[in-house]
């Protein structure tokens, strides 16, 4: 696989680990369904471009949710069984303890693409007392640890925090509070308003 294709794949793996779901509804091909917040149409553009490049012969479709607050982007391909770091029918991503595939750690371009996908889906950029912050929040400790490690490989100094919730699993937050603008630029974290699906 060419480097550009691997960058797209690293991005889609990040998106999928955040807000993706694998299933086999037609019993033949695996479907990746990514649920997106309708407030960020630029993310739709990024996802559709990457999926169309990865699967040029497969249809990438978008379906709006019932309240227009979210939409789903889907693609069918049995290559997903090879690409994704968890498997259909083996339980949730939490149960399978999904982690970033090892090959992504081998190149900063793959790391940047994967981080962009993870933060677009399970992250946020916000201001706290005038300082810009980046958060990644998930309930899988090993995945949060992988995110922290990827940021460190790129030269940043994130911190990881855990918070227990009374009725559910603990949440783990990876927070970056220094060099945030440089980080945002390095991983190309943007929210454009183009739509192509």
- What is the model's pLDDT at position 136? 96
pLDDT at 140 over 60: yes
Question: Under a CB-based contact definition with an 8 Å cutoff, are residues 65 and 72 in contact?
Answer: yes
Q: At what angle do helices 3-19 and 41-54 cross, to 10 degrees?
A: 130
Domain boundaries, the chain: 3-186
Architecture of domain 3-186: Roll (3.10)
- What is the model's pLDDT at position 64? 85
More confident residue, 193 or 173: 173
**pLDDT bracket for residue 193 (50, 70, 90):** very low
Tokens of 29: 């091909």
pLDDT at 128 over 90: no
pLDDT at 183 over 90: yes
Tokens of 82: 């090879």
Q: Whole-model pTM?
A: 0.91
pLDDT at 167 over 90: no
């Amino acid at each position: 696989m060419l480097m550009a294709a691997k960058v797209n794949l690293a991005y889609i793996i990040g998106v999928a680990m955040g807000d993706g779901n694998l299933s086999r509804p037609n019993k033949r091909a695996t479907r990746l369904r990514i649920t997106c917040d309708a407030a960020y149409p630029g993310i739709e553009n990024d996802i559709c471009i990457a999926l169309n490049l990865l699967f040029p012969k497969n249809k990438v479709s978008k379906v709006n949710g019932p309240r227009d607050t979210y939409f789903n982007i889907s693609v069918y391909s049995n290559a997903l069984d090879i690409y994704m770091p968890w498997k259909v029918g083996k339980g949730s991503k939490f149960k399978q303890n999904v982690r970033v595939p090892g090959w992504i750690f081998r190149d900063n371009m793959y790391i940047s693409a994967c981080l962009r996908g993870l933060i677009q889906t399970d992250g946020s950029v916000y201001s706290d007392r005038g300082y810009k912050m980046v958060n990644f929040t998930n309930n899988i400790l090993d995945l949060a640890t992988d995110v922290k490690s990827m940021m460190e490989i790129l030269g940043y100094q994130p911190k990881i925090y855990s918070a227990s919730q009374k009725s559910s699993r603990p949440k783990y937050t990876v927070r970056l509070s220094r060099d945030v603008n440089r980080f945002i630029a390095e991983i190309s974290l943007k929210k454009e308003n183009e739509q192509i699906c």
